[in-house]
Amino acid sequence: MLSKALQGGVLTALLLASLPASAQVDGQQLFQQHCSKCHGANGNAHTLRGWLLFAQNLSKPKWQANTTDDEILHAIQQGPGAMPAYAEKLSSEEQQALLKHLRSLAKPTPE
């Protein structure tokens, strides 16, 4: 017979094992929710709000090449200029997913 403490531990392990794996964070959805109003759906900042607030064109190859992941994460967390800070609003996992999506906005460089 198992002790009550061991029974509780086994029950907890079984319950945790039966839960579905946490869903992967959708960076594109986060971008649409928090960023596209200024940066546009494709990151080019061709929006009225983007124009008024001097939003960065995130799809520019030069910006993509010259901006590090750490700089992007810092901007997400601290909110440069008129951009709001998301350090307290987005989890680390959400910030990483957003960074990954921002990198996917890069336009190919002309050859």
- Tell me the three state secondary structure of residue 38: helix
- CA atoms of 66 and 90, how far apart (whole Å): 25
Quote the Cα angle for 99-100-102, to 5°. Answer: 60
What's the domain count of the chain?
Answer: 1
Q: What's the CATH code of the domain at 55?
A: 1.10.760.10
Query: How does pLDDT run along the chain (111 residues), one tens digit per residue?
Result: 555 554 555 444 444 444 444 468 999 999 999 999 999 999 999 999 999 999 999 999 999 999 999 999 999 999 999 999 999 999 999 999 999 999 999 987 665
In angstroms, the CA 51 to CA 3 distance is: 67
Confirm if 106 and 59 have CB atoms less than 8 A apart.
yes
Model's pTM, two decimal places? 0.75
Pair 101, 29: CB distance under 8 Å? no
Tell whether 6 is covered by a domain.
no
Per the domain annotation, does 109 fall within a domain? no
- The whole domain housing 85 covers 25-104
